[in-house]
Chain A
Amino acid sequence: MTNTSATLSKYGSEKCTGCGVCMLTCPVWRQTRDIMLTACGRTRTLQNGGGPQDMRDSLAACVLCGSCGPVCPAGVDTVGLTTELRMDLAEKTGPAPDSAPGGQSSPGVKACGTVFFPGSAMRKDNSLLGHALRLLEQEAGFYEDAEISAMAEKMEAGIWPDPGSLKDFVRSMAGVTEIVAADGFLHRHLRQWLPEVRVTGFGETLLRRPDIKKALKATDLYMIEARGYHADHSRLVNFYDRLRLETGCRLNTSLQRTAIPTGATSRQNPGPVRVDAREQARWILDKRKTERVVAEAVEDMKIFKKIPGIEVIHVAELLSLA
Chain B
Amino acid sequence: MNTANISSPGLYAETLAKGAIPADHVHPDSLKGIPRRQTNPARWNGEGWDAFVGALRAKNVEVREKKQTCLVYATDCGGLAYGRPHGVTLAGSAEQISAILKEAQKRRVPVTVKGGGLTTEGESVAFGGLQLDMRGMNRVISVDGKNMTVRAQAGIHWHTLAEALRRDGLDYLSAPLNLTASVGGTLGVGGIDINSPRLGPSADQAVSLQVVTPTGEIRECSESENPELFERVLLGYGQFGVITEAVLRVRKFTPITMYYFYYGSLRDALQDLQLLVREDAADYCGILTILDKAINLLVAFDSDEREHAFFEKWRNRIRGHGEPGFALRMAWHYGLRPWRLGEALYLLGRKRALEPAFKPGQYMENGKIVDRAVVFGNQVWKFWGGRQMVIPDLAVNAEKFVEAIERGNAVCRKYFPRYTLYCVGIKLSGRRQRYELSCVPPDAVDFAYGCEFEPLLGDAIYSREYLQTFKNEIYDIGVDMKTSYYRFGGMMKGYIRRAFGDELVDKHLAMKRAADPAMILNPDVIF
Contact = CB atoms under 8 A, between A and B. Distances in A.
B79 interface: yes
B438 interface: no
Contacts of B77: 17-19
Given A33-B136, A288-B167, A237 B362 contact: yes
Contact of A73 (B71, B168, B385): B385
B179 A24 contact: yes
A21 B365 CA distance: 24
Contact of A18 (B75, B137, B361, B365): B75
Interface residues of B, number: 43
A136 B374 CA distance: 38
Interface in B314-338: none
Interface string B135-156: 1111000000000000000010
A84 B408 CA distance: 46
Contact of A255 (B69, B72, B117, B374): B374
Given A33-B138, A256-B374, A24 B159 contact: yes
Given A24-B180, A255-B159, A45 B68 contact: yes
Contact of A17 (B90, B136, B155, B387): B387
Contact of B361 (A36, A41, A241, A254): A241
B74 interface: yes
Interface in B75-102: 75, 77, 79, 90
Interface string A244-256: 0100000000111
Interface residues of A, number: 35
Contacts of A50: 68, 71
Interface string B353-375: 00000000111010000010010
Contacts of A288: 167
Nearest to B380: A73
A20 B160 contact: no
A255 B72 CA distance: 27
Contact of B72 (A17, A21, A48, A256): A48
Given A18-B77, A48-B68, A33 B90 contact: yes
A257 B378 CA distance: 12
A33 B374 contact: no
A310 to B, nearest CB: 16
Contacts of B180: 19-21, 23-24
A17 B457 CA distance: 13
A205 interface: no
A20 B117 contact: yes
B450 to A, nearest CB: 22
Nearest to B383: A73
A15 B387 contact: yes
Contacts of B389: 17
A33 B157 CA distance: 11
A287 B165 CA distance: 10
B393 interface: no
A207 to B, nearest CB: 17
Contacts, number: 94
Contacts of B137: 33
A242 to B, nearest CB: 10
B116 A20 contact: yes
A49 B377 CA distance: 29
A158 B179 CA distance: 32
Given A237-B362, A241-B361, A288-B167, A45 B72 contact: yes
Contacts of B288: none
Interface in A252-270: 254-257
A23 B386 CA distance: 17
A288 B168 CA distance: 9
Nearest to A75: B382
Given A17-B386, A17-B387, A255 B162 contact: yes
A24 B378 CA distance: 12
A43 to B, nearest CB: 10
A17 B163 CA distance: 23
Contact of B167 (A16, A44, A48, A286): A286
Nearest to B166: A255
A230 B507 CA distance: 54
Contacts of A291: none
Contacts of B382: 73
B71 A35 contact: no
B381 A17 contact: yes
B71 A45 contact: yes
Contacts of A35: 72, 133, 135
Interface of B: 66, 68-69, 71-72, 74-75, 77, 79, 90, 116-117, 133, 135-138, 155, 157, 159-160, 162-163, 166-168, 178-180, 361-363, 365, 371, 374, 377-378, 381-382, 385-387, 389
7 contacts: A18-B75, A21-B381, A24-B159, A36-B72, A73-B381, A254-B163, A287-B167
Given A17-B77, A73-B385, A255-B374, 10 more contacts: A17-B389, A18-B77, A20-B157, A23-B180, A24-B160, A36-B72, A74-B385, A238-B362, A256-B374, A287-B167
In the complex, the 8 A-B pairs of residues with the closest C-beta atoms, listed nearest first: A73-B381, A287-B167, A20-B180, A48-B71, A73-B382, A54-B68, A50-B68, A44-B72
Interface of A: 15-21, 23-24, 33-36, 41, 44-45, 48-50, 54-55, 71, 73-74, 237-238, 241, 245, 254-257, 286-288
